[in-house]
Chain A
Amino acid sequence: MVYAISLWIALYATWLLLSGFYTPFLMGLGAVSCAVVVFIARRMDVIDHEAVPIQLGWRILTYWPWLIVEIFKANIDVTRRVLSPSLPISPTMIKVKTAQRSDLAKVIYANSITLTPGTVSVDVHEDEITVHAISAEGAADIAEGTMNRKAAAVEGA
């Protein structure tokens, strides 16, 4: 029930921000539409801790700024490699053990790896992620595991 209500709030907030209509009639229609969507989603049995990950709470909000900084550092690193005449790349494949327990947190970790340029997760199986890195240094950063621990911290104790 908590998940259903959270989904309705998220949907309605998105609707309000995207529509820009604030007359009572239209706002009422928006509220009803969101309620119908939540009802259908309930019948489809897709409302759970993965569809509406409210259990992540504020922890995801501390993770995102850190991730954004990492993304920009990685962007600059890949840009330097691409533009330098000698093309200093050393493509590397490594496997890392995930420190996360839930599937959701593993997805967060794998997507974070892909989102930072220079590293792409090419395969996720059980608790092992295969990562392709553009440089041995990038692979070493992943193996060192800072992002792994931060993504594990997102799912909480």
Chain B
Amino acid sequence: MAVAIDILSWALLLSGGFFVVVGGIGVLRLPDLYTRMHAAGVTDTGGAALILIGLMLQAGFTLITVKLLLILLFLWFTSPTASYALANSALFDGVKPLLQKRGADDEDEG
């Protein structure tokens, strides 16, 4: 039983780590501020959630699990607010989003 929980926990931790790395790759690959914010979103929703759930399985039925759950709750309450503040101020500062650009090559930059 303990082994099963360990395996499940590690699967969650590793897939959480995978999402965090994907978020990083996305921030590097995507072309502008707004699209990069979507990649950053993968890190702090999917990545954070899977890692925290994996850690909850390690902690078992203890107060630590409750605290991890509260971390996830507060993270999911605050991070969209911070993202909104960033996107909104960028928009008001005149950062134009690149629209409808397909393909990785930057033939019509600017």
On A, residues with C-beta under 8 Å from B are 14, 17-18, 20, 68, 71-72, 74-75, 78-79, 82-83, 85-93, 110-112, 114-124, 130, 132, 134, 136
Contacts of B88 in A (CB 8 A): 122-123
Contacts of B22 in A (CB 8 A): 78-79, 82-83
Contacts of A85 in B (CB 8 A): 104
Q: Count of A-B contacts with CB under 8 A?
A: 120
- Residue B10 at the chain A interface, CB threshold 8 Å: no
- Residue B26 at the chain A interface, CB threshold 8 Å: yes
Q: Can you list 24 pairs linking A and B with CB atoms under 8 Å apart?
A: A17-B63, A71-B45, A78-B22, A82-B22, A82-B30, A85-B104, A86-B104, A90-B101, A91-B34, A91-B101, A92-B100, A93-B97, A110-B80, A110-B84, A111-B80, A112-B80, A117-B45, A117-B46, A120-B41, A120-B83, A120-B87, A122-B87, A122-B88, A132-B97
| Closest A residue, CB atoms, query B46 | A75
Known A75-B42, A122-B84; further 4 A-B contacts with Cβ < 8 A: A18-B67, A74-B45, A120-B83, A132-B34
Q: In the assembled complex, how far is the CB of residue B106 from the closest CB belonging to chain A, in whole angstroms? A: 11
- Distance between Cα atoms of A130 and B38 in the complex (Å): 15
- Distance between Cα atoms of A71 and B44 in the complex (Å): 11
Contacts of B90 in A (CB 8 A): 122
- Residue B37 at the chain A interface, CB threshold 8 Å: yes
Q: In the assembled complex, how far is the CB of residue B12 from the closest CB belonging to chain A, in whole angstroms? A: 12
Give the interface SS of chain A, mostly helix, strand, loop or mixed.
Answer: mixed
- Residue B110 at the chain A interface, CB threshold 8 Å: no
- Distance between Cα atoms of A71 and B49 in the complex (Å): 10
Determine if A117 and B80 form an interchain contact, defined as CB atoms under 8 angstroms apart: no
Q: Choose among A17, A82, A121 the residue that contacts B84 (Cβ–Cβ < 8 A).
A: A121
Q: Mark B22-64, 1 if CB is under 8 A from A, else 0.
A: 1001100110101101110110011001000000000000010
| Closest A residue, CB atoms, query B90 | A122
On B, residues with C-beta under 8 Å from A are 19, 22, 25-26, 29-30, 32, 34-35, 37-39, 41-42, 45-46, 49, 63, 66-67, 70, 76-77, 79-81, 83-84, 87-88, 90-91, 97-104
- Distance between Cα atoms of A124 and B81 in the complex (Å): 12
Contact flag A114-B83 (CB < 8 Å), given A75-B42, A82-B25, A123-B91: yes
Q: In the assembled complex, how far is the CB of residue B27 from the closest CB belonging to chain A, in whole angstroms? A: 9
| Closest A residue, CB atoms, query B69 | A17
